Amino acid sequence: MTASIVYNGHLRCECTHIQSGTVIETDAPTDNRGKGERFSPTDTLCVSLATCIVTTMALKANDMDLDLSGTRIAVTKHMLSDPRRIGKIDIELHFPDSLKTAEKDRLILQRVGDTCPVAKSLHPDLQVVIVYQWNQS
């Protein structure tokens, strides 16, 4: 088992990662009768995609003797209403100024990010826009 989840009422869930014991809570968004005081389930999907991109890139970067520490990621979710679902996810990765990479290495890392396991698991109707900001001088 990967996780155990308890629905606590009031549109909130408590999710426990079995291996580590880490707990996250979700809440329905304010536009869907929630309080918006936690990540919504659709927020967590978007965050999962962004963290999968940078994690798989970091695995490859380690093999290339590169360090992606300090990379910042902006995630924007766009909802559709009929049916209610995520229609688009915008992800913008900002790599630290201290990271100096050749164009070839950037292309390799971007290909890895674009094909991370979460990205490969999403429905093809979901539009995903990934922007890589390398801050090269």
Phi, psi of 124 (to 5 degrees): -65, -20
- Give the predicted TM-score (pTM) of the model: 0.94
pLDDT in tens, 58-82: 999 999 999 999 999 999 999 999 9
Give bridge partners of residue 55 from the DSSP assignment.
none
Q: How far apart are CA 9 and CA 94, in angstroms?
A: 38
pLDDT at residue 129, as a whole number: 98
> Which stretches of the chain score pLDDT less than 50?
137
pLDDT at 47: 98
d(CA 24, CA 18): 12
Q: Are 49 and 41 in contact (CB under 8 A)?
A: no
pLDDT of residue 136: 59
Distance CA 16, CA 106 (A): 36
